[in-house]
Amino acid sequence: MADRTLLLINKFYHDIGPSGGVGRYIMQEEEDLTARGWNIVPFAMKDADARPSPWDTFFVRAHDYSSPRFDPKAALSLIWNREAARNLDRLLNQVKPDVAHVHNIYHHLSPSILPVLAKHGVPVVMTLHDLRLLCPAIHMLRNGEVCERCKGGRLEQAVAGRCVKGSRSASLLAAVETWNQRSRGLYEGAVTRFLCPSAFYARKYEEWGYPGTKLEHMPNFVDLDGWRPIARDPDDIVLFFGRLSREKGLSTLLRAYAAWRERRESSGSPPPPALMIAGSGPAEAELQQEAAALGLHDVFLGGLAPVDLKELLPRARFTVLPSEWYENGPLSLLESLAAGVPVVGADIAGIPECLDDGVEGVLFPPGDVEALTDALDRADALGPDARRAARVRAQLHHDRNTHMDRLEDILSCI
């Protein structure tokens, strides 16, 4: 599809650190669509890691919202970033994109850019990577448990529960941000098509008032060439890789693994495969203390470079995704499947859409230590058929080229 121009919008223009899986997605999207003849014009925040671009003079000044937000100017820009609107307007006076693909813009860019896109007649497709447009708390958690008290506009519930960073002030600001965009219908009115990596997210957004006719399920993809199975038996490794944060259910995993080890010892069975946890995050120190109290040592590997993870993952007997929040289409699950590694996954949100119990892995109720202990036992008994099934599942449902074919069709027909 030559000679078409895509405006690619995300708050980060890189795949480092806080950009997470979304950053990896947009970098791959840019690479693939450029190879197909598209002209890509990025619009993002100019932080220290932003990739060089001919268009980066239009990028927006970086703001740090990682700590509770008390600065009035920063708070105002979080709700309505005038600089982002001005810069995008100047950009669109120079380039005339056929379509915009919007990813995560809240906080750093804000919905202030949406009226600018409408003013210039640019149709908008948006991928919904999380639940931030519904709830002030991005993970939709309260005191560590899934919570939907804000449904129906009851955003004061987020303030009462200190659901954002454990801070009443931060929760109030996030609630105001959410009220502003929901009450004005900013996203619903400006976006032509919302792409949802999980069917669960499509249903959830419709339940919370978004028009179902604009919501389309489009599963995430994985690079099948970058993640490949090994041609030998796996090592005795059980692996978690990802962000070390409370919503990932790692405390449940540590307790379940300790119980599994004790069960094996008491029955006279061989010891279980070694647990390895790769990644970093805000709960790292707390989890290390808990592991030590359970007698689990040499468990944490720290953050691994991509090349090291690609060497380690295919060797795992299985991976564990014990999430206790509404996961969307987790890339760690898809990468495990592509590497031919079965997955023990929590039966919540988008995870069971990518995993059949007893086929490519094992499902268990989230947060249930005893059930996870049983799931670890069941996964350890899976044979080579599960490894083959995992790879086939990734090939059939999460192929990168097939995903880009569909994305290109959507972008071309808006």
- pLDDT above 70 for 292: yes
Average pLDDT over residues 138-147: 94
CA distance 248 to 278: 13
- CB-CB neighbours of 229 under 10 Å: 16
What confidence score (pLDDT) does residue 67 get? 57
Q: Is the pLDDT of residue 343 over 70?
A: yes
- Region 352-377: mean pLDDT is 98
Which of 91, 10, 100, 94 has its CA nearest to residue 47?
10
Predicted pLDDT of residue 18: 84
Do residue 106 and residue 93 come from a single domain?
Answer: yes
Q: Is residue 242 located within the same domain as residue 281?
A: yes
Residue 188 forms part of a structural domain: yes
Summarised one tens digit per residue, pLDDT across range 257-277 is 999 999 999 999 999 999 999
Amino acid at 398: H
Q: Which structural domain, as residue segments, surrounds residue 257?
A: 237-397
Which of the four pLDDT bands, split at 50, 70 and 90, describes residue 314?
A: very high
Q: Which amino acid, 205?
A: Y
CA distances from 359 to 148, 232, 236 (A): 32, 20, 20
User: In angstroms, rounded to a whole number, what is the distance separating the alpha carbons of residues 301 and 19?
Assistant: 21
For the segment 142-154, the average pLDDT, to the nearest whole number, is 95
* Res 15: pLDDT: 93
Residue 152 shares a structural domain with residue 252: no
Residue 149 forms part of a structural domain: yes
pLDDT at 66: 63
Same domain, 120 and 179: yes
Angle 279-131-24 from CA coordinates, rounded to 5° = 45
Q: Are 164 and 210 in a shared domain?
A: yes
Does the residue 227 lie in any domain? no
Q: Are 253 and 341 in a shared domain? A: yes
- Asked if residue 372 has pLDDT above 90, the reply is yes
Shared-domain flag, residues 295 and 321: yes
Q: Where are the alpha helices (DSSP H) in 267-399?
A: 284-293, 306-312, 331-338, 369-380, 384-397
Summarize the confidence of residues 51-71 as an average pLDDT: 81
Asked which of 36-50, 60-74, 98-112, 352-366 is least confident by mean pLDDT, the reply is 60-74
Average pLDDT of the chain is: 95
Two tokens, residue 95: 């380039």
275 and 340 belong to one structural domain: yes
DSSP 255-320: HHHHHHHHHHHHTTPPPPPEEEEE---TTHHHHHHHHHHTT--S-EEEPPPHHHHHHHGGG-SEEE
| φ, ψ at 97 (rounded to 5°) | -70, 150
CATH number at residue 393: 3.40.50.2000
**Per-residue confidence band for 78, with pLDDT thresholds at 50, 70 and 90:** confident
- Is 80 exceeded by the pLDDT of residue 284? yes
Q: Is the pLDDT of residue 68 over 60?
A: no
Following CA atoms 174, 248, 309, 238 in sequence, which dihedral angle do they give, to the nearest 10 degrees?
180
Q: Is residue 121 part of a domain?
A: yes
DSSP designation for 216: E
Q: How many separate domains does the chain show?
A: 2
User: Is 126 among the domain residues?
Assistant: yes
Residue 9 pairs with which residues in a beta bridge?
A: 43, 102
Q: Please say if the pLDDT value at position 408 is more than 90.
A: yes
Considering the domain architecture, whether residues 68 and 144 belong to the same structural domain is answered as yes
231 within some domain:
no
Given a contact cutoff of 8 angstroms between Cβ atoms, the answer to whether 230 and 314 are in contact is yes
What pairs with residue 45 in β-bridges? 60
| Neighbouring C-beta atoms of residue 54, cutoff 10 Å | 8
Instruction: Flag whether 229 is in a domain.
Output: no
Q: Is the pLDDT of residue 1 over 50?
A: no
pLDDT at 75 over 80: no
Lowest mean pLDDT among 71-85, 93-107, 361-375: 71-85
Flag whether 140 is in a domain: yes
Closest CA to 133 of 60, 43, 73, 201: 201
Specify whether 180 is located in the same domain as 293.
no
For the chain, give the percent of residues with pLDDT over 90: 93
